[in-house]
Amino acid sequence: MKQPRRYEAAIIWGLMMLLVTVVLSENRNETDQAHVVLTYLLVVVGGSSSSGRRLGLSLAGVAFFLIDFFFQVPYDRLAIGKPLDFVILLAFLVTALVTTQLLAVARSEGAEALKRADEVATLSLERVELMRVAQHAEALREADRLKDVVLASVSHDLRTPLTTIKALAQDSALRGDENAAVIEEQADRLSRFVGDLLDLSRLQGGAMPSRPEVNTAEDLIGAAIRQMGSLIDGRLVLPQIDKSQPALVGRFDFVQSLRILNNLLENACRYAPADTKIELDVHRDSEALVFRVCDRGPGVAPADRQRIFELFYRAGSGPPDAGRAGLGLSIARRLAELQGGALQYEPRDGGGSVFVLRLPALDVDEAAGTV
């Protein structure tokens, strides 16, 4: 776009120069040279201010020869009849060149000022946006902090009335109240939910430290099955330990790891059909002990396989009321990561789910040296 505009400006000011020359030449005998010089200087200034230094210099050069040719004696030829005429021409040319240069500098400084103004405006907008983002982030952090405070406070305050409700239910059961068992069961369910909320607030606040120690995989699996006995509800759980290798030893927090396996076994019992088996196996894989809890439930849809570890998320493929609020898997993964492990989901061949828990492993000799 700049080139056509430059050509257009050159044509306009060239025509202006021609018009000035025609008008002045018709009365050149009565026109003072100072008037001629000033008129041409106005044209040079106008062209320079509208289109820049190049056009201004070109107009100045053309005007120099036009003044000499048409308005200095002898007329209609390039010649200088008097020394004073040369001084006039030289003064015109110098004035035109200086004026053109000054206008060019002014145009450049004006363009630079506009550029800086645009940059300042852009930076101001960016600063406002950054402040808005920072304020939003701060608000989110404060909301998250308040959420943790509320969770911790509510969870703690609920424990006392739940204990009272359970004690009253047990007392009612002794008096033959048929609804007491249901009340006690729901109190236990709510108590587990409150416990999950407390653990979640401790994990998020860094108040649940991990204490990895040397433990065996066999002890962990045995403890998990014994502790889950009442919840397995007749389902057959098949523990499988790789006997082809030396004792499977690792460095992990026994209590936290037991909590993870209990959660995974409870999940399997909740979702798998009652007549199916639940498998719990462990083997060594390089630097990790790999625990697998396998069931024949409905499995997890591909879209839900990562989201099932999010807080309060429940897969759409699950039953309408699975008995929990969607905290167990999230807490289990955080507990695994807290002690240098990992928890993942895999689909099971033939249908079902496999939850894989990885914990740091130790060689037997290394474990013996650390005991």
Tokens of 50: 């509208």
Percent of the chain clearing pLDDT 70 (strictly above): 77
Question: What are the CA-CA distances from residue 173 to residues 86, 163, 166, 176 (Å)?
Answer: 127, 15, 10, 5
Which pLDDT tens digit goes with each residue over 1-54? 455 566 787 788 888 888 888 888 787 777 777 777 778 778 877 777 777 777
The neighbour count for residue 355, using CB atoms within 10 Å, is 26
Tokens of 177: 């109240």
DSSP state for residue 357 in the 8-state scheme: E
Which pLDDT tens digit goes with each residue over 132-181? 888 888 877 776 666 666 666 665 666 677 778 878 878 787 887 777 78
Residue, of 189 and 89, whose pLDDT is higher:
189
Question: What are the CA-CA distances from residue 263 to residues 33, 70, 269, 296, 367 (Å)?
Answer: 105, 105, 10, 17, 27
Provide mean pLDDT across the span 356-366: 86
Burial class (CB in 10 A: 0-12, 13-18, 19+), 153: exposed
Q: What is the pLDDT of residue 273?
A: 84
Question: What are the CA-CA distances from residue 72 to residues 26, 64, 77, 89, 313 (Å)?
Answer: 14, 11, 9, 10, 96
pLDDT over 60 (residue 305): yes
pTM value? 0.55
Residue, of 283 and 154, whose pLDDT is higher:
283
CB 181 within 8 A of CB 173: yes
Which pLDDT tens digit goes with each residue over 188-221? 777 777 777 777 777 776 767 888 999 999 999 9
Residue, of 54 and 104, whose pLDDT is higher:
54
CB 255 within 8 A of CB 297: no
pLDDT over 80 (residue 251): yes
Return the bridge partners of 216, or none.
249
